[in-house]
Amino acid sequence: MAQLLNRIGQLGVGLAITGGVINSALYNVDAGHRAVIFDRFAGVKNAVVGEGTHFFIPWVQRPIMFDIRARPRNVPVVTGSKDLQNVSITLRVLFRPVATALPNIYTTLGQDYDERVLPSITNEVLKAVVARYDASEMITQREVVSQTVSEELTERARQFGLLLDDISITHLTFGREFTQAVEMKQVAQQEAEKARFVVEKAEQQKRAAITSAEGDKVAAELLSAAFARAGNGLIELRRIEAAEDIAYQMSQSRNVVYLPQNQTTLLNLGAV
């Protein structure tokens, strides 16, 4: 019985040791990750290990994990335009490594490849592209500038084994002098619009005055012709019509009295 128990104990210890060795020789590659194997004798292997559980030789081999999912990064750059204006640009880049290029990336750049590559190539490309445009063109042709930056930066990143899924300009400002110049230009344009409005208004008033004067001239000519044809009769008619209108207006007032010629008694105008 004692020998049996001793055998079972030895078997248990052997299984535990075997299980520990096997467990130490296993590693997991999570979703969205890839592994590169470093061998102490052969160096970095060219094979890229995919997702799942895999074996490796403890102490001799070591798995190095890489995240191959797309990640964002903002890169601020201060540069100069074609007309020597200071331009502050922030570029948002959505990047990921090429899975098959991971052994070379690890050998040449390391696991912090994005810190080593993205700031430098972004500065290089942005400064080269912005120098082709004036500050005003950076505003009016922003889509063209963004497209040019995207094409050249994508090509530059491909040389390092990186894929850029999206590139966008999120921030674009200019120096104080250019900003003040733009504000002054806007004020000048507003003043010019105001002056043009005043000139157009004066022109319209001038035309209205000319039209009114021409109308008065025609009316005077018509009256003169009428007087020439009718003599003083037309004037007498207008005088009688005016007297009738005045008499009617006075008759509507209670406080107005009328004293006929050669009569001393005041008569109410309404009784006349």
Q: What is the pLDDT of residues 153-188, one digit of tens each?
A: 999 999 999 999 999 998 888 877 766 666 666 666
In this prediction, residue 109 carries a pLDDT of 92
Provide the CATH number for the domain around residue 114.
3.30.479.30
Residues 203 and 164 in one domain: no
Query: What's the burial of 133, exposed, middle or buried (CB within 10 Å: 0-12/13-18/19+)?
Result: buried
**Full DSSP string of 150-161:** HHHHHHHHHTTT
Q: What is the pLDDT of residues 219-242, one digit of tens each?
A: 777 767 766 666 666 667 677 777
In this prediction, residue 271 carries a pLDDT of 43
Q: Residue 184: which H helix or E strand, with range? A: helix 176-230
Residues 62 and 126 in one domain: no
Please give the residue that has the higher pLDDT: either 107 or 201.
107
93 bridge partner residues: 73, 167
Residue 266 above 60 pLDDT? no
Structural domain including 143 reads 71-174
- Domain's final residue, options 156, 174, 192: 174
Please give the residue that has the higher pLDDT: either 92 or 200.
92
Cβ–Cβ < 8 Å for 126, 79: yes
* 251 inside domain: no
How many structural domains does the chain have?
3
Residues 111 and 147 in one domain: yes
Nearest 10 degrees: CA dihedral of 96, 100, 106, 112? Answer: 0
In this prediction, residue 135 carries a pLDDT of 83
